[in-house]
């Protein structure tokens, strides 16, 4: 039997307790051992929970107990989650986590500490909820030079956008539903402002390129500025708006060419499989120089899907408990080392305010972008013109717009 401790009995921690309770015999059949949740650390007591008697309020109870070999951290936030994780690793306990804030901020250091203490620090649940993506990238795609990782990485925002577009719900109504379903962060600003996706793309980038870029300083846009007009324009162009995290080599054939990374709403053309990823589902596309494109798809948030990933990490530890597993070295680097996103090639869906007649406005745009696709028709024109540029860069576009009019919105079109 393996004794473990849960830190946090909220949405994910509650899901982990439920999965272990339901599937313990199945787990034992696969690993030869049952899992025993010996302690649950939380701020509150849970008198009505079946494991309520195991709740403790002092981390030292767990750290001091040599029977506890695995700690599952699901409290959220940086502190004390980082401090407890570090202390558990230093006490010789394996740690698994769903906390992407800690992994994206302190992952390089915590992996090093784990290595020094011959224990493991695993974080399958930190990206993509229940989707197996961390271990497949680290193991099954290890033969590849990875060149790009793109994805819909946040269940809450994808749920909100889907409900706004397909069910005509308001932003507030859709966000409230996502919170009620347990998808959202405690402070949902982290979801809707793109911060959660940013943490996740930093983790994926570290897996792909070995450098953990600091999430602070990565270009990050959320979905709060997306309007009904943007949605309608995307549809008129032939796509749908999704919040996307992207990272990759600027020149896929040259690993020294530099890494780019950004989080922003993108128009996903209908022929791109990411366009059909709706509601709480996430999807991650990984491009390797041997395998080509691989896509991962599944529920990106929620108690049981995320618990599936947390418990799979615990099982991996039990299954390999006598083995010395290779631990990757990540280097922590500043986001200043990223290639400037303003220089990335993109076509843009643009709304711009121009004080001119429809024909004059169209002429002005065409003089700058001869290949432009104008979406607004003359009947609908009221000083705001919507169009899709040919491939350009954000820097060039902003220069061009300064001579045309006031930009109302710029949304990137997802490249092929």
Which residues make up the interface to ligand NDP (CB under 6 A)?
8-13, 41-44, 74-76, 80, 98-101, 125, 129, 182-183, 185-186, 301-302, 306
Residue whose CB is less far from ligand HSE, 283 or 386: 283
Out of ligand NDP, ligand HSE, none, what residue 154 binds, judged by CB under 5 to 8 A for its kind, is: ligand HSE
Query: What does each C-alpha distance from 412 to 230, 234, 269, 380 come to in angstroms?
Result: 11, 10, 11, 23
| Alpha helices in 32-80, H assignment, sequence order | 59-63
115 is catalytic: no
Query: What does each C-alpha distance from 398 to 82, 374, 395 come to in angstroms?
Result: 41, 18, 5
Out of ligand NDP, ligand HSE, none, what residue 156 binds, judged by CB under 5 to 8 A for its kind, is: ligand HSE
Q: Does 193 bind ligand HSE (CB under 6 A)?
A: no
State how far the Cα of 295 lies from the Cα of 273, in Å rounded to an integer: 9
> Pick from 104, 226, 286, 301: which binds ligand HSE (CB under 6 A)?
301
Q: Does 76 bind ligand HSE (CB under 6 A)?
A: no
> Pick from 14, 130, 151, 155: which binds ligand HSE (CB under 6 A)?
155
315 within 8 A of 296, measured Cβ to Cβ: no
- Considering only the C-alpha atoms of the chain, give the largest distance between any 2 of them, rounded to a whole number of Å: 77
Query: Is the four-CA dihedral 81, 87, 89, 93 of positive or negative sign?
Result: negative
Select the span of 25-33, 40-48, 183-191, 307-315 touching ligand HSE (CB under 6 A).
183-191
Cα atoms in the Cβ-side hemisphere of radius 13 Å centred on 200: 33
Cα atoms in the Cβ-side hemisphere of radius 13 Å centred on 322: 1
Least gap, CB of 303 to ligand NDP (angstroms): 7
Of 175, 68, 69, 54, the C-alpha closest to 120 is: 69
Q: Does 268 bind ligand HSE (CB under 6 A)?
A: no
* Antiparallel, parallel or unpaired: β 347-353 and 406-413: antiparallel
Out of ligand NDP, ligand HSE, none, what residue 41 binds, judged by CB under 5 to 8 A for its kind, is: ligand NDP
Least gap, CB of 17 to ligand HSE (angstroms): 18
Q: Does 196 bind ligand HSE (CB under 6 A)?
A: yes
Residues in binding contact with ligand HSE, number by CB under 6 A: 11
> Pick from 35, 114, 164, 184: which binds ligand HSE (CB under 6 A)?
184
Q: Does 156 bind ligand HSE (CB under 6 A)?
A: yes
* 195 CB burial (10 A radius; 0-12, 13-18, 19+): buried
The catalytic residue positions are: 200
Contact positions vs ligand HSE (CB under 6 A) = 129, 154-156, 183-185, 191, 196, 300-301
């Amino acid at each position: 039997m393996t004794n473990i401790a849960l830190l946090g009995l909220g949405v994910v921690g509650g899901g982990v307790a439920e999965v272990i309770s339901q599937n313990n015999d199945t787990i034992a059949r696969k690993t030869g051992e049952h899992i025993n949740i010996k302690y649950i650390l939380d701020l509150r007591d849970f008198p009505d929970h079946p494991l309520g008697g195991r709740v403790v309020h002092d981390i030292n109870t767990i750290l001091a107990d040599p029977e506890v070999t695995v700690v599952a951290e699901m409290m959220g936030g940086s502190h004390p989650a980082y401090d407890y994780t570090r202390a558990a690793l230093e006490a010789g306990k394996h740690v698994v986590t769903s906390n992407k804030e800690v992994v994206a901020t302190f992952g390089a250091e915590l992996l090093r500490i784990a290595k020094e203490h011959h224990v493991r620090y695993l974080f399958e649940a930190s990206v993509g909820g229940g989707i197996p993506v961390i271990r497949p990238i680290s193991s099954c795609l290890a033969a590849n030079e990875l060149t790009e990782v793109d994805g819909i990485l946040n269940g809450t925002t994808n749920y909100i956008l889907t409900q706004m577009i397909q069910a005509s719900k308001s932003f507030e109504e859709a966000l409230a539903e996502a919170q009620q379903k347990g998808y959202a962060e405690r402070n949902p600003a982290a979801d809707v402002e793109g911060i959660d996706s940013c943490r996740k793309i930093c983790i994926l980038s570290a897996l792909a390129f070995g450098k953990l870029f600091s999430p602070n300083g990565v270009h990050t846009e959320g979905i709060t500025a997306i309007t009904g007009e943007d949605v309608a324009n995307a549809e008129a162009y032939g796509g749908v708006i999704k919040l996307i995290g992207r990272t990759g080599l600027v020149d896929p054939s040259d690993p020294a060419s530099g890494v780019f990374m950004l989080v922003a709403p993108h128009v996903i053309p209908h022929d791109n499989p990411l366009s059909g990823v709706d509601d709480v589902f996430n999807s991650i596309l990984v491009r390797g120089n041997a395998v080509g494109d691989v896509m991962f798809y599944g529920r990106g948030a929620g108690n049981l899907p995320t618990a599936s990933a947390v418990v799979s990490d615990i099982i991996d530890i039990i299954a390999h408990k006598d083995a010395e597993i290779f631990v990757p070295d990540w280097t922590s680097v500043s986001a200043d080392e990223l290639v400037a996103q303003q220089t990335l090639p993109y076509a843009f869906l643009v709304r711009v305010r121009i004080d001119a007649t429809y024909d004059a406005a169209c002429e002005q745009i065409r003089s700058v972008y001869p290949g432009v696709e104008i979406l607004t028709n003359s009947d609908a024109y009221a000083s705001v013109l919507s169009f899709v540029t040919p491939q350009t860069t954000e820097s060039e576009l902003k220069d061009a717009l300064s001579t045309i009019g006031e930009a109302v919105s710029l949304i990137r079109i997802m490249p092929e």
